Amino acid sequence: MNEVILQEVGLRDGLQAEKQTVPFEHKLAWVEALIESGVDVIQLGSFVNPEKVPQMADTDKLFQRFSQPGAKPPRVRLSGLVLNEKGLDRGQACGVELFCMGVSASETHSQKNTGMTVADAATRIIQMARAAMAAGREVQVSVQSAFGCGFEGAIPETRVLDLVKRYLDAGVRMVSLADTAGHANPAQVERLFGEIRTMGAGIQMAAHFHNTYGMGLANCMAAMRAGATYLESAFGGLGGCPFTKLPAGNVCTEDLVHMLQQLGQRPEVDLAGLIGLAKEVAAFFNRELPGFVYKSGPIKH
Amino acid sequence: MNEVILQEVGLRDGLQAEKQTVPFEHKLAWVEALIESGVDVIQLGSFVNPEKVPQMADTDKLFQRFSQPGAKPPRVRLSGLVLNEKGLDRGQACGVELFCMGVSASETHSQKNTGMTVADAATRIIQMARAAMAAGREVQVSVQSAFGCGFEGAIPETRVLDLVKRYLDAGVRMVSLADTAGHANPAQVERLFGEIRTMGAGIQMAAHFHNTYGMGLANCMAAMRAGATYLESAFGGLGGCPFTKLPAGNVCTEDLVHMLQQLGQRPEVDLAGLIGLAKEVAAFFNRELPGFVYKSGPIKH
């Protein structure tokens, strides 16, 4: 299996559902901890309307802070999620290194999110991806709801693969499948990524899972088997709705790193540091987070 | 992948750590629900000293009840865990169909549990297994702490495989690897079961995992890939110590069945019934259990 590249999305997908706004100073400290830990890509936030999502209001400021010379080692890349051209402009102005953007494979989800059909949303996102690539930025384009949709249920695999083909035809080289609803199962994950792998040379595949039904790490294994290299996860397993008991968070970063290290991968990542961060985040929100290892401690050999 | 055979161990491995004794009438209702659900093997309890483990005091009575003609369909088999000759006698007297017994691969664990070395414990267990087979009973012999030990840490894989070889040489055909400490990882699981598979013809392999570090379902997938057919699990994911926050329970039955059904396996098993049971068990203990799907509900397609 290929070496996994870790993309930490806790500051974006982890925090965006949290009603309690995290003060800028806390975010700074959490990003510092992530940089120290040795993860590869840190998604600092999304470029959305700050009035609609106050939790993301300081995204530009965070990028400015960590784009300053010496603020991070070059091996750590900063990624940001953009939904539209305005976000892309903001992201280019404040130092985003890896632009993440995507289209939902579900017509209902696409309409609700963007007011556009899947086909139209793809046209727009591909245009944005081209602009970002022309500006010399790295770009990852995702298919959201790739494994099923909370509104529509099952999503035809051909629809997912057709979107990916459009991305690849446009010159995109990093493609992500996002399990927005948490519906993915290992067989489906291995099949879909396996298909994408055959669609061209030099494709980098990224996987984004939620642990809604407990299959998160099993799906990560399946993605790795199929050749995905980027795995996205959030500290503490954040990302579930804080007002239900539904443990629907992202795959948990420290649980993922723990598993990878058990598999002999990424021994240099500072698991203890990540566990410390998860404890700090749990203390901040004053509740138990979905992650396992920050509670159990790692396996001792 | 082979069709999975489901062994429910909640009544034994799930309950044995619970301080609150479950009344016999509740156990009856829970077993009825399990029979209705369509799982294949139900472990009703262990034959231990009732003064030491009051939770298991009614094991013989449970077997007598469900061994009566018509108490269950023949497709459902009743299994019981035995630790010694006295337990074997009790089990034979009350209608155990599948005897489960095992030896720890960890010297420390073996000494603490049995006061014997691994080698001596194996000699004794093999003798018991032979006696049970001679009496016409099905027998499953396990290696406990097969993937690591809470006391000793890593366990040499040769020690696990040597034990399995002794079982097979004695005529045992169903071999289980039990992850007593929850240390298993998917690569190790696939490697060990893969080795056992090559050790002879007609070997049935069983896997018993705990979800201490969130890898439970990933390990189940790995075991299935390597050819294990029996997967052991507990309703609600019971099995953790109720006095810590450590989610160290067994793999959760309804989460496992949910994943299998997503994979297209075992569609006839009544997942809704299993979810209902988990809710009942959670209500009985008046706390949230580790299982995911009884809280989230299944994926809707």
Give residue B246's pLDDT.
53
pLDDT for A246: 53
DSSP H helices, chain A, are 24-37, 59-67, 85-94, 107-114, 118-134, 157-169, 186-197, 216-225, 253-262, 271-285, 293-296
- List pLDDT tens digits, range B65-120: 999 999 999 999 999 999 999 999 999 999 999 999 999 999 999 998 889 999 99
**A264 contacts in B (CB within 8 Å)?**
187
Which residue in A207, A298, A225 sits closest to A257, CA to CA? A298
Residues B253/B210, Cβ–Cβ less than 8 Å: no
For residues A221 and A243, give the distance between their C-alpha atoms in angstroms, rounded to a whole number.
30
For B297, phi then psi, to 5°, come to 75, 160
Residues belonging to chain A with any Cβ–Cβ distance to chain B shorter than 8 Å: 148, 153-154, 181-183, 185-188, 211-218, 220-222, 245-248, 252, 255, 258-259, 262-264, 288, 291-293, 295-296, 298-301
For chain B, what is the mean pLDDT? 95
Show the tokens assigned to B191: 């490697």
State pLDDT tens for residues A65-78.
Answer: 999 999 999 999 99
Tokens of B252: 């959760």
Q: CB A246 to CB B295 under 8 A?
A: yes
Q: In this model, does residue B279 exceed pLDDT 80?
A: yes
Predicted local distance difference test score (pLDDT) of residue B210: 95
Residue where the block lists tokens 């939770």: B55
Q: Taking 60 as the threshold, does the pLDDT of residue A244 lie above it?
A: no
- Interatomic CA distance for residues A97 and A76, integer angstroms: 10
Give the angle subtended at the CA of B245 by the CAs of B243 and B246, to the nearest 5°: 105
**B142 exposure class (CB count in 10 Å sphere: 0-12, 13-18, 19+):** buried
Question: Searching chain B, which residue's CA lies closest to the CA of residue A149?
Answer: B301
Partners of A142 in beta bridges:
A102, A176
Instruction: Express as a percent the part of chain B with pLDDT over 90.
Output: 91
Residue B50: pLDDT over 70: yes
Q: How far is CA A273 from CA A24, A144, A227, in A?
A: 20, 31, 28
**Which chain A residues are within 8 Å of B255, Cβ to Cβ?**
213-214
Backbone torsion region of residue A266, taken as left when φ is above 0, otherwise alpha when ψ lies between -120 and 50, otherwise beta? left
**Interface contact flag, A217 B212, Cβ < 8 Å:** no
A149 a catalytic residue: no
Ordered alpha helix ranges (H), chain B: 24-37, 59-67, 85-94, 107-114, 118-134, 157-169, 186-197, 216-225, 253-262, 271-285, 293-296
Domain A97-215 has CATH 3.30.1600.10: no
Cβ of B296 within 8 Å of Cβ of A248? The answer is yes
Q: Where in chain A is the domain with CATH 3.20.20.70?
A: 1-85+249-301, 97-215
Are the Cβ atoms of A299 and B183 closer than 8 angstroms? Answer: yes
| Confidence (pLDDT) at B240 | 64
pLDDT confidence of residue A301: 76
Measure the CA–CA gap between A243 and A222, rounded to whole angstroms: 31
State the pLDDT confidence band at B247, using cuts at 50, 70 and 90: low
In A, which residues are within 8 Å of B188 by CB distance?
A: 262
Q: How far is A123 from chain B (nearest CA, A)?
A: 28
pLDDT at position B245 over 50? no
Q: CA–CA separation, A293 vs B223, rounded Å?
A: 22
Could you report the per-residue pLDDT of A72-125, keeping only the tens digit for each?
999 999 999 999 999 999 999 999 999 999 999 999 999 988 899 999 999 999
Token pair of A213 as six digits: 């039904």
> Residue B248 pLDDT > 80, yes or no?
no
Q: How far is CA A275 from the centre of its chain?
A: 19
Which has the minimum average pLDDT: A255-264, B150-159, B163-172?
B150-159
**Domain A1-85+249-301 = CATH 3.20.20.70:** yes
Q: Which of A94, A149, A220, A241 is catalytic?
A: A241
Q: What is the mean pLDDT of residues B187-200?
A: 97
How far is residue B85's CA from residue B83's CA, in Å, rounded to a whole number?
A: 7
Confidence of residue A2 (pLDDT cuts 50, 70, 90): confident
Q: Which residues pair with A123 in a beta bridge?
A: none
Q: Which CATH architecture has domain B5-296?
A: Alpha-Beta Barrel (3.20)
Residues from B in contact with A at Cβ < 8 Å: 148, 153-154, 181-183, 185-188, 211-218, 220-222, 245-248, 252, 255, 258-259, 262-264, 288, 291-293, 295-296, 298-301
Q: Check whether A128 has a pLDDT greater than 60.
A: yes
What are the pLDDT digits (tens) for A141-176? 999 999 999 888 999 999 999 999 999 999 999 999
Contact pairs from chain A to chain B, CB under 8 Å: 111
Q: Considering only A99-103, B137-141, B286-290, which range has the smallest mean pLDDT?
A: B286-290
| Nearest C-alpha in B relative to A241 | B296
* pLDDT surpassing 50 at residue B164: yes
